[in-house]
Chain A
Amino acid sequence: DAGITQSPRHKVTETGTPVTLRCHQTENHRYMYWYRQDPGHGLRLIHYSYGVKDTDKGEVSDGYSVSRSKTEDFLLTLESATSSQTSVYFCAISESGGLGTEAFFGQGTRLTVV
């Protein structure tokens, strides 16, 4: 298994509070990603990083920010949580974006916003 650890694994928070999810990797992969999984939508890309301090938006980035100060850590912050952000969040890593490489996923964080 790829060395990816997501924390926390489960969280319940109140509407309007900030929340930070952490993804830690031990593979020294360049690329890191945050996805959310919702029924009827599969997984959708929120933000990704292509190096330390280098990040870019994905398909559903509104209401989220990210930071990557070290190769091994990628943080996802919900600035002011809303009920629509109740979801399962997956971190992924990949060595490159080229053919023959695949993204490895963490075990997920189930976030409930009440």
Chain B
Amino acid sequence: DQQVKQNSPSLSVQEGRISILNCDYTNSMFDYFLWYKKYPAEGPTFLISISSIKDKNEDGRFTVFLNKSAKHLSLHIVPSQPGDSAVYFCAASEVQGAQKLVFGQGTRLTINP
């Protein structure tokens, strides 16, 4: 049973507009959430994270929102740039010793010029 779900396999956005990627989770024990970005033939790279005690975290063009009651988080990218085209993975973990991440299936974001 998938504990972290990204229901949109792909998303296409025009350059300069906002990209919104969504993620849902079912395990109420998760207390740390992360977004990773992945280019082809490379490993995932960390983008931004948020702990369960917050509802928003911002880093430059990237903002992550967490709605604990809905078990939903989203990543906003504004403005979107061509270099943002990649697969984005949502991940979650319980903060206990090792950071055992549970990943969503990924969303392929394409930024069109």
Contact surface of A with B, Cβ cutoff 8 Å: 4, 31, 33, 35, 40-45, 48, 50, 56, 58-59, 90, 92, 94, 96-108
Q: In whole angstroms, what is the CA distance A100 to B55 when docked?
A: 15
Residues of A within 8 A of B99 (CB): 31, 33, 94, 96-97, 101-103
In the complex, are the beta carbons of A50 and B97 less than 8 A apart? yes
- How many A-B pairs have beta carbons closer than 8 Å: the answer is 72
Provide 8 A-B residue pairs closer than 8 Å at the C-beta atoms, listed in order of the A residue: A42-B104, A45-B100, A48-B100, A97-B98, A104-B46, A106-B43, A107-B42, A107-B43
Residues of A within 8 A of B4 (CB): 42
Residues of B within 8 A of A94 (CB): 98-99
In the complex, are the beta carbons of B105 and A90 less than 8 A apart? no
**Minimal beta-carbon separation of A109 from chain B (angstroms):** 10
Q: With A102-B34, A102-B46 known to touch, is A50 a contact of B104 (CB < 8 Å)?
A: no
Residues of B within 8 A of A4 (CB): 43
In the complex, are the beta carbons of B101 and A103 less than 8 A apart? yes
CB-based nearest A residue for B36: A105
Residues of A within 8 A of B42 (CB): 107-108
In the complex, are the beta carbons of A58 and B104 less than 8 A apart? no
**Minimal beta-carbon separation of A54 from chain B (angstroms):** 10
In the complex, are the beta carbons of B98 and A33 less than 8 A apart? yes
In B58-113, which residues have CB < 8 Å from any A CB? 89, 91, 93, 95-106
